[in-house]
Structure 1
Amino acid sequence: MNERRTIRENEMTLVRHLLKLAGLDPDSINIPTEVEEYEGGKMGSINFTDFNKAPYLNDLVQVIYTDSDQTPVVITLTQNSEHEILDMDFWKKDFSKLITYPTPEKVAVKDPNALI
């Protein structure tokens, strides 16, 4: 595991937006301010809560974003079995580095039946 760091403002903005898209009130949810990057931050994925504390329970919301190189990115906000935010996972279709960090107006809820 990598070192924990303070969540960035753009990450917090996106998490709060994803919570709203999931039908949740971001003000009523404890969003950890310390995160850990997956893959050295290559695709943007961050972990909020130690998986060993409580394992993955489910996805809260999944959105689609098109990076500035026109490559689709799926972003999933997950929770653990204690109903805490577990991670915000980015999956870029070609596994390349994320170029432009998404903003709320650039993401759309992913159709669960759609393939990217």
Structure 2
Amino acid sequence: MAGTSDAGHLLKTYECRGDLAAQSPMSHVAQVTTPTLILHGEDGDRCPVGQAEQWFAALRERNVPVRLVRYPGGSHLFLLNGRPSHRMDYNERIVQWLEQWIPVAGTPVSPS
């Protein structure tokens, strides 16, 4: 983030001191097994879409169930101030993802 985000240099200087590589999620991706849904505004300056793509690719390479959805024209806060169709889609995808991956009592989860 320190090298790609519009505010990453500030975080690096004032908040994330020490070993930045060790603080990166990419440094720990081999330990991730949780099914992961990534919903990302394409035009975000805080978290550029390349970060989402990198995380998606790393999880996919490790056979972690993962889905990446990109919202064209969406900023970092597209969930709050983006297109109504994007906000609605975001909410629907979360519900569908949770229904897919959280078992109903007594029912095993099966990836679909």
| TM-score (norm. length: structure 2) | 0.25
Higher strand share: 1
Higher helix share: 2
Rg larger for: 2
Q: Which has the higher contact order (CA 8 A, sep 6+)?
A: 1
